[in-house]
Each structure stands twice: as structure tokens, then as C-alpha cells.
Chains A and B, each alone.
Chain A
Amino acid sequence: MANKNNEALKQPIWVNNPVVVQILGICSALAVTAQLKPAIVMGLSVTVIVAMSNVIISLLRNTIPNRIRIIVQLVVVAALVTIVSEILKAFAYDVSVQLSVYIGLIITNCILMGRLEAFAMQNGPAASFMDGIGNGLGYAAILVVVAFVRELLGSGKLLGFQVIPQWCYDHGYMNNGLMIMPPMALILVGCIIWFHRSKNKDLQEK
């Protein structure tokens, strides 16, 4: 059982990553990765929400009427997202302004419904919790990598601090404005998928 929980946690972080293997949650991965800070907050919010909704659905799984199970899942997710959004507004206002609609869009993040329907409906709370944490972290990891590259090359900063010295700019270095635009995030995710497939041969299509 412990082994199974371990698997549920580890698998989605790299081998079965929700973003690069299942191609879920791409929309928000493009939108919030221009800077590192919102990407980290988004990754953590999704992790918390997937884990919590997984546990709740897993606890309820035997009582949920089969015909309205998707609605029940949606209500649970929507309630959690609303609560997280309210908490952010109260304690991290800047971040909530920056994430604006994307917090609300967590509800429609395919990772959530995917995990609830595919995992939490069949497994116990402990395994579901691990699965949620694993998928959330897998999602967060991709966001952080993309945001790291985009913020570094796009604005020469990391977490808002200037890291590329003025000296470089004086000698003709320029920030890559394209990095700030959403298409670049797609290309970066593409590069990560490329790298991922080259490491995991069994995923390659023949």
C-alpha cells in the first residue's frame, strides 16, 4: 500500500507528467509563466486544490450518485477554488491581481477533473492525496522551468530581481521581448516535451 502511494506521488512528477505527457493544463501554463512568482503561486495553488479535491472526492466516492458524479466533482473543485481565491485576495492581493482570471480558471484546468475522474473515484483518500500532490507538483515543475527561462531571457530578472548585470546591457545584450509573449511558452513546453520523449523511449510514437 505504501508502495502504491509512493508510485502515485512519483509517477506524475516526471514519467507521467500531466503537462508534458497528458498535455493537460496547457492554457494556464502559457498564461502565467511570463514571470516566476505567479508561476510558483499558480503551481502551489493547483497542487493544494488537486490534493484537497482528490481527498474529498475519494472520501465521498462510495456515496456519490453515479449520474451526477461530474457535477459533484465540479462543485467540490469550484468551492475549493473560490476559497483559495478569497484567501489570496485577503493575504496576497498583488498575486491575486496578477493571476486575476487564472485562479478562477483552475476550475476548468483539465488536470483536476482528470485526476478526480480517473484516480480519486477509484482509490482511497491517502493514495488520492499523494496522487494530487504528485500531479500538482508535476504541473508546478513545468511551470517553474518555463517561467524561469522566460523571465530570465525576457526581462533579465528572476522573481523580480535583476540578475543580468547592467554591464551586459552596456555591451549590447538585449532582453528577448518574444519571451514575454505567450507563443514562446508553447515553444518552451514543446522543447521540454522533446527532451522528455528522448529520455522516455517508450512514449515515442513509431
Chain B
Amino acid sequence: MATKKFKCKVCGYVHEGNEAPEKCPLCGAPKSEFEEIVEGGAAPKKKGLDTSSNAYTIIYAAVMVILVAFLLVFVSSTLKERQTANVINDTKAQILASLNIKDQADVASAYQNAVKADMLMQADGSLVPYEGEFCTGYSSEYDAGRLHVFQAEVDGQTKYVIPMNGLGLWGVIWGYIALDEDRQTVYGVYFSHASETPGLGGEIAAPLFQSRFPGKIVTSDGQVALQVLKFGKADKTSAYQIDGVTGATITSTGVNNMINKVLTSYLPFLNGACCAQQCCNEDGCEEEQNVESIED
């Protein structure tokens, strides 16, 4: 005769016999957790669907994935605008932080008050206004050869802010360096990072490290001279050397390389302070205009 089958509701163990065992041998569940499996036509499936068949499984997975995909696309596209606004706001707050304007409640208007123009540096070091939309990713702008310089005014003095991008230990780092009108003296800096070690490399985002920059000089003899050295190696009296973060040598080196790489690209601008004022009054500019008119 056919023995009855009992299935453990907890672990799915199937016991064959005339009655359920006292204890499930697999999971130790008591007898009450067993239910009899009635085979054949006596137990029509609840839904009339075989949920373990291949076709059902595949269709189920496909439908689920399509539904979820549509849902995510919908959410993402409805919130996109707000998110972009937040990122722009955050970028502006970072630029302001390099100008030592921090914790502003209304970033947008504070930015408008302080930053007068978003400019692009030309090959000869002159600045032309940037016409496009406000950028949030300056790494790709740098790679595309568009070298942004923000002209800002703080307490009636002109400052220049240069965006920087580089690599730390675990991921990207970025920052903004604000220079005085002489394009040499550091007015303020801001650094941030994607995934540096909290408490070590992450400290480049902390005020302690950033407070070492103001007053330092960026170039010497036409070359970038500002250096971030291993902690304790910097000469305190030097106008060019800055102590890195304790215990975060690789991140500090990353900051050093970032400053060096980016500012080297900006050398024409940094070294152009002396003649920038007179340039347009002199013959050089007129000659250029003449050349253009001939070509026309």
C-alpha cells in the first residue's frame, strides 16, 4: 500500500510513513509543523499554475525585470531636475568654500554675490567669458581643454578660483584653489574626495589641512612651486611647502600631483598677471585685429 507523505513546513523535508514524525530530522521542528501531502487529483493546485515549471520561472523573471525597469526609469526621470539642481548648488557651495565663504543658507544668491564671472583660459593666458551652462564636472572640462577660471570678488578684492581634479588612494579627489589678484598668493582652498579613508586620507576635506594653504605662493620662476609634502617634511618658513595629512601619504601625494598637474596647465594665466592690464592697449592686440580683418 502507498504510504502517506508528510512535509515539514519549516524546511521542506518530506517524510514517508503512516504518520508524521515527532521531530523533523533536518530542522528539529515539532510534529505540528508537518502537513500531509495529498497526491493526485485530490489536491488541485490553488492557482492551477505550476510555479516550478521552467516556462513560468522564465516568464516571471522577465515580467518582473521589465516592470522594475520601467518603475526605475520613471522615478529617475521625475526626480532628475531636482537632483541636478542639488548638484549645481553643491558645486557652487564648494567654490564658495574655497573663497572661505562657508555654511551659507542660500547658496545660489551667495554665489551670485561673490562670483562675478565663469571664464575660460586661452592658450595665451587671457580669459574669455564662458558661454555654456554651469558645469558640475570639471574633470571632463579639464580633459576637453576647457580651463575654467572663476573671477570672484570678496570684500572688494578680486580673487580667482581654479577647479582641480586628481586621484587619491582609493578614488578621485577634487578641489578648488582661490588665488589673490596677483594670481600667486593662495587665498583659500577646498578639497573633497569620493572614497578616501575616513580619519586619514579623508582629512584632506577637513579645515585643519586646508588652513595650511592660505598665504602660500603658487609659482616660482614661472613653474608651479606649491608642494604638499609628507607630514613633517615641509619647511615651516617656506612660502611654497605644505605639510600633508598624517598617516595619509598617498592621498597627500595625490593632492600634490593634482595641484601640480592642474596649475601647470594654468601657467600662462598665473604668469600673465604683470602684463594682463596693458595688453589690449598695446600694438599686439591691434595687429591681431588687423590680421583678422585682412582674412575677412
Evaluate whether A101 and B195 lie within 8 angstroms (CB atoms) in the complex, with A67-B52, A83-B75, A86-B75 already known: yes
A-contact bits for B64-90, CB 8 A (1 contact / 0 none): 110010011001100100110011011
**What residues of chain B lie closer than 8 Å to A34, measured between beta carbons?**
198
Q: Do A97 and B90 contact each other (CB < 8 Å), given the known contacts A62-B46, A71-B61? A: yes
A23 at the interface (CB under 8 A from B): no
Question: Whose C-beta in chain B lies nearest to the C-beta of A101?
Answer: B195
Residues of B within 8 A of A91 (CB): 82
B52→A90 contact, CB < 8 A: no
Residues on B lying within 8 angstroms of A by beta carbon are 9, 46-47, 49, 51-52, 56-57, 60-61, 64-65, 68, 71-72, 75-76, 79, 82-83, 86-87, 89-90, 195, 198-199
> Looking at chain A's contact residues, is the secondary structure mostly helix, strand, loop, or mixed?
helix
Q: Is the CB of B76 within 8 A of A86?
A: yes
* Residues of A168-206 whose CB lies within 8 A of B: 180-182
Contact of A181 among B51, B64, B83, B199 (CB under 8 A): B199
A24 within 8 A of partner (CB):
no
Residues of B within 8 A of A76 (CB): 68
A90 touches B71 (CB 8 A): no
- Which residues of chain A are near B49, meaning CB under 8 Å? 63
Indicate whether A4 reaches chain B with its CB closer than 8 angstroms.
no
Residues of B close to A82: CB separation below 8 A: 72, 75
Q: Are A89 and B86 in contact (CB under 8 A)?
A: yes
The docked-state distance in angstroms from the alpha carbon of A182 to that of B57 is: 43
Do B57 and A67 touch (CB < 8 A)?
A: yes
- The reply to whether A90 and B86 contact each other, CB–CB distance below 8 Å, is yes
Q: Say yes or no for A165: interface residue by CB 8 A criterion.
A: no
Closest to A84 in B: B75
Q: Tell me, in angstroms, the Cα distance from A82 to B76 when the chains sit together.
A: 9
Known: A75-B65, A180-B199. A63 touches B60 (CB 8 A): yes
Q: Which of A63, A76, A100, A180 has the most CB of B within 10 A?
A: A63
A64 CB contacts on chain B under 8 angstroms: 51, 60
CB under 8 Å from chain B, chain A span 89-117: 89-91, 93, 97, 100-101
Look across to chain B and name the residue whose beta carbon is closest to the beta carbon of A177: B199
The reply on A72 being an interface residue by CB < 8 A is yes
Whether the pair A65, B72 counts as a contact (CB closer than 8 A) is: no
Question: Whole-angstrom distance between the alpha carbons of A87 and B79 in the complex?
Answer: 7
Residues of B within 8 A of A1 (CB): none
Beta-carbon contact of B79 and A90 below 8 Å: yes
A68's contact among B9, B60, B68, by CB below 8 Å, is which? B60
CB atoms of A66 and B52 under 8 A apart? yes
* 7 A-B pairs closest in CB distance: A93-B86, A90-B82, A65-B57, A90-B79, A79-B68, A89-B83, A90-B83
- Which residues in B have their C-beta under 8 angstroms from that of A93? 83, 86-87, 89-90
Structural contact, B64 and A75, CB atoms closer than 8 A = yes
Contact B89 A65 (CB under 8 A): no
CA distance A91 to B89 in the complex (A): 13
Q: Report whether B90 and A68 are in contact in the complex, using a CB–CB cutoff of 8 Å.
A: no
B72 touches A79 (CB 8 A): yes
Known: A68-B60, A83-B75, A89-B83. A62 touches B90 (CB 8 A): no
Chain B, Cβ-Cβ closest to A72: B64
With a 10 A CB-CB cut-off, give which of A72, A89, A181 has the most chain B CB atoms. A89
In the complex, residue of chain A having the shortest beta-carbon distance to the beta carbon of B71: A79
CB distance from B130 to the nearest CB of A (A): 25
Instruction: Report whether A68 and B61 are in contact in the complex, using a CB–CB cutoff of 8 Å.
Output: yes
CB distance from B139 to the nearest CB of A (A): 18
Q: A65: which of B9, B56, B76, B195 is its contact (CB, 8 Å)?
A: B56
Chain B: which residue is nearest A34 at the CB level?
Answer: B198
Q: List 22 A-B contacts (CB under 8 A).
A: A62-B46, A62-B47, A64-B51, A64-B60, A65-B52, A65-B56, A65-B61, A67-B52, A71-B61, A72-B60, A75-B64, A76-B68, A82-B72, A82-B75, A86-B76, A87-B79, A89-B83, A89-B86, A93-B87, A93-B89, A101-B195, A181-B199
- In the assembly, what is the distance between CA of A93 and CA of B93, in Å? 13
CB distance from B13 to the nearest CB of A (A): 15
A185 to B61, CA, bound (A): 40
Chain A residues with Cβ under 8 A from B57's Cβ?
A: 65, 67-68
The distance from the CB of A14 to the nearest CB of chain B, in whole angstroms, is 25
Chain B min CB distance to A161 (Å): 14
Q: A68-B61, A72-B64 are in contact. List 12 more A-B contacts (CB 8 A).
A: A62-B46, A62-B51, A65-B52, A65-B61, A66-B51, A68-B57, A75-B68, A79-B71, A82-B75, A87-B79, A89-B86, A182-B198
